């Protein structure tokens, strides 16, 4: 990526992004190549395989991350596989039991099903405060499997989290490749954005919901890609909840009058250019409204997963097309091959970037 020439600002990812991941597990060499001991987050000591083959996570972002490290080790899914995800996922994953998880509003795991599956290891993601509640800890304590956690509070935590998971799960080589991509992405984005002064930042509105009038605060985990890509989230506030999606009025949005709108819902994106209310916004007038790609998982949010490593480059290109000349077709093909072992054609990559998917079949 090229630097903006005219555009001093502190880097967005602190050095701690690449420090040791915050985990509750302590690995202890067991002396045998086939097993090792861990102390889980409740102080319980377990012996697990060097390369566990049955892992469960009640967090969608972490389940997705475990999938790209090694799909064969998943004991079950957090949520059902959706139609637009199927063409990019391995066939064997589609038959896995749906175990549920703690995410969104009111979702909980099927404890009975988790007990039946009896995973070798349960891994929590510590980016969501729901995982820290006493109630959930009490529930987790009834499970016989060891429970460990990794920090996924920000995208900057991913290199360390991936590296740790590779060591914990005996997939160091594979995890090393993914962590290297994550580290380079964050380094490149910091280099690109560090000289963008506040007065040069592109203002951005993140439009959620069918009406586009739900959004997330600039401090929210759900909108992290905006500052990481050098933008300014117009909705500046403290998030009232981890879930987000705060409702705003059209009058408030007209006062914001952002340079760019990032749209989550395809149905909303289809209508925005023909809606007289939205036509009053300069982003609409200047055709700077972009539908966030969602193949196989959303590149921006919900869930805020590793896909944001590709999404942040896409956002930067939307905000600063003249200064961030990333070949997104080439980058998308490279990313899908590395993370999903999927060979996209140029046309398929273009369709994904355009909010469409014409890839046929399930591998």
User: What Å distances lie between residue 270 and 24, 72, 113, 145, 263, CA to CA?
Assistant: 45, 38, 40, 47, 10
User: Is pLDDT above 80 for 28?
Assistant: no
| 7 occurs within a structural domain | no
Rg of the chain's alpha carbons, rounded to an integer? 21
In a domain, 286, yes or no: yes
Per-residue confidence band for 105, with pLDDT thresholds at 50, 70 and 90: low
The lowest-confidence range among 91-105, 129-143, 189-203, 256-270 is: 129-143
Which residues have C-beta within 8 Å of that of residue 135, sequence separation ≥ 6?
Answer: none
Question: Strand, coil or helix: what is 27?
Answer: strand
Instruction: Please state, as a whole number, how many other Cβ atoms lie within 10 Å of the Cβ of residue 29.
Output: 7
For residues 126 and 203, membership in a common domain is answered with no
pLDDT at res. 309: 98
DSSP state, residue 224: T
pLDDT digits (tens, 9 = 90+) for 224-255: 999 999 999 999 998 877 778 999 999 999 99
Q: Which of 306, 300, 275 is nearest to 355 (CA)?
A: 300
Q: How many CA atoms lie within 13 A of 295 on its CB side?
A: 23
176 in a structural domain: no
Cα dihedral: 94, 99, 101, 107 (round 10): 100
Residue at 5 is within a domain: no
CATH of residue 337's domain is 3.40.50.1980
Domain co-membership, 335 together with 212 = yes
**Count: domains in the chain:** 2
Co-location of 271 and 197 in the same domain: yes
In degrees, rounded to 5, the angle at the alpha carbon of residue 352 between the alpha carbons of residues 336 and 158 is 45
Last residue of a domain, one of 102, 124, 150: 150
Task: Please state, rounded to an integer, the average pLDDT across all residues of the chain.
Answer: 88
Q: What's the confidence (pLDDT) of residue 347?
A: 97
Kindly state the tokens that stand for 113: 């099903």
Region 122-129: mean pLDDT is 74
Greater pLDDT, 360 or 121: 121
Answer yes or no: do 220 and 326 share one domain: yes
- pLDDT one-digit tens code per residue, 52-96: 999 999 999 999 999 999 999 999 999 999 999 999 999 999 999
SS3 214: strand
Place of tokens 């009025």: 249
- Pick the residue with more confidence: 274 or 21? 274
Task: Say what the pTM is.
Answer: 0.89
Strand partners, 124: 149
Residue 179: what pLDDT? 98
Residue 79 structure tokens: 């949520």
Verify that 200 and 332 share a domain, yes or no.
Answer: yes
pLDDT band of 10, cuts 50, 70, 90: very low
Query: Would the pLDDT of 125 be above 90?
Result: no
Is residue 307 in some structural domain? yes
**Do both 348 and 217 map to the same domain?**
yes
Contacting residues for 58 by C-beta, under 8 A, at least 6 apart: 78, 99, 100, 101, 102, 103, 109, 122, 124
As a whole number of angstroms, the distance between CA 98 and CA 88 comes to 18
CA separation for the pair 44, 246 (Å, rounded): 40
Report the pLDDT value the prediction gives residue 14, as an integer from 0 to 100: 52
Q: Could you tell me if 64 and 74 are in contact, meaning their C-beta atoms sit under 8 angstroms apart?
A: no
Q: Is residue 228 domain-shared with residue 299, that is, in the same domain?
A: yes
- CA–CA separation, 144 and 48 (whole Å): 13
pLDDT tops 80 at residue 151: yes
Tell whether the torsion through CA atoms of 304, 224, 359 and 104 is positive or negative.
Answer: positive
> Cβ(200)–Cβ(170) under 8 Å?
no
Would you call 6 exposed, middle or buried from its count of C-beta atoms within 10 A (0-12, 13-18, 19+)?
Answer: exposed
Report d(CA 160, CA 9) in Å as an integer: 24
Whole-number Å distance between alpha carbons of 66 and 71: 7
Range picked from 31-35, 104-108, 317-321 for highest mean pLDDT: 317-321
pLDDT (0 to 100) of residue 43: 86
Q: Counting Cβ atoms within 10 Å, is residue 1 exposed (0-12), middle (13-18) or buried (19+)?
A: middle
Tokens at 354, concatenated: 């355009």
pLDDT tens string 319-352: 999 998 799 999 999 999 999 999 999 999 999 9
- Considering 122, 150, 178, which residue would you say is the last residue of a domain? 150
Does residue 44 sit in the same domain as residue 135? Answer: yes
Among candidate residues 119, 150, 181, the one where a domain is terminated: 150
- pLDDT at residue number 329: 97
Does 195 lie in the same domain as 275? yes
Weakest mean pLDDT among 14-28, 63-77, 91-105:
14-28
- The pLDDT value given to residue 359: 54
Residue 173 lies in a domain: no
Same domain, 222 and 333: yes
- 101 and 204 inside one domain: no
331 and 213 fall within a common domain = yes
Higher pLDDT pick, 127 / 51: 51
> Per the domain annotation, does 195 fall within a domain?
yes
Domain that holds residue 77: 23-150
Residue 161 inside a domain? The answer is: no
Neighbours of 50 (CB within 10 A): 12
Alpha helices of the chain — where are they, by DSSP H? 60-69, 111-117, 134-141, 158-169, 172-193, 225-228, 250-256, 266-272, 282-285, 308-319, 328-340, 346-353
Q: What's the gap between Cα 261 and its chain centre?
A: 20
Cβ-proximal residues to 278 (8 Å cutoff; 6+ apart), any chain = 212, 272, 284
């Amino acid at each position: 990526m090229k630097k903006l020439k005219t555009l001093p600002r502190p880097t967005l990812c602190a050095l701690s992004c690449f420090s040791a991941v915050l985990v509750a597990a302590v690995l202890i060499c067991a002396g045998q190549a086939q097993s090792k001991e861990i102390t889980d987050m409740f102080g319980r000591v377990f012996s697990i395989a060097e390369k566990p083959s049955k892992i469960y996570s009640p967090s969608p972002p972490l389940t997705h991350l475990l999938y790209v490290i090694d799909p064969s080790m998943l004991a079950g899914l957090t949520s059902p596989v959706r139609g637009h995800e199927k063409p990019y996922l391995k066939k064997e994953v589609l038959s896995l039991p749906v175990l549920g998880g703690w995410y969104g509003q009111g979702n909980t795991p099927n404890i009975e099903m988790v007990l039946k599956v009896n995973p070798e290891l349960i891994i929590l993601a510590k980016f969501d405060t729901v995982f820290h509640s006493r109630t959930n800890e009490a529930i987790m304590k009834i499970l016989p499997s060891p429970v460990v956690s990794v920090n996924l509070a920000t995208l900057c935590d991913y290199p360390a989290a991936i590296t740790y998971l590779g060591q914990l799960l005996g997939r160091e080589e594979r995890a090393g490749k993914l962590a290297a991509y994550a580290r380079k992405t964050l380094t490149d984005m910091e280099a690109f954005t560090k000289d963008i002064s506040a007065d040069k930042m592109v203002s951005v509105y993140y439009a959620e919901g069918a009406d586009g009038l739900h959004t997330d605060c600039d401090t929210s985990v759900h909108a992290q890609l905006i500052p990481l890509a050098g933008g300014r989230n117009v909705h500046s506030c403290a998030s009232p909840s981890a879930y987000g999606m705060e409702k705003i009025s059209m009058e408030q949005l007209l006062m914001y009058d952002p340079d760019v709108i990032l749209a989550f819902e395809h149905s909303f994106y289809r209508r925005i250019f023909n809606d007289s209310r939205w036509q009053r916004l300069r982003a609409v007038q200047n055709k700077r409204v972009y539908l966030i790609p969602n193949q196989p998982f959303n590149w921006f949010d919900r869930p805020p997963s590793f896909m944001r490593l590709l999404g942040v480059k896409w956002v930067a290109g939307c905000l600063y097309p003249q200064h961030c000349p990333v070949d997104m077709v080439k980058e998308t093909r490279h990313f899908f091959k590395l993370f999903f072992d999927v060979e996209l054609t140029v046309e398929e990559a273009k369709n994904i970037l355009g909010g469409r998917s014409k890839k046929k079949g399930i591998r």
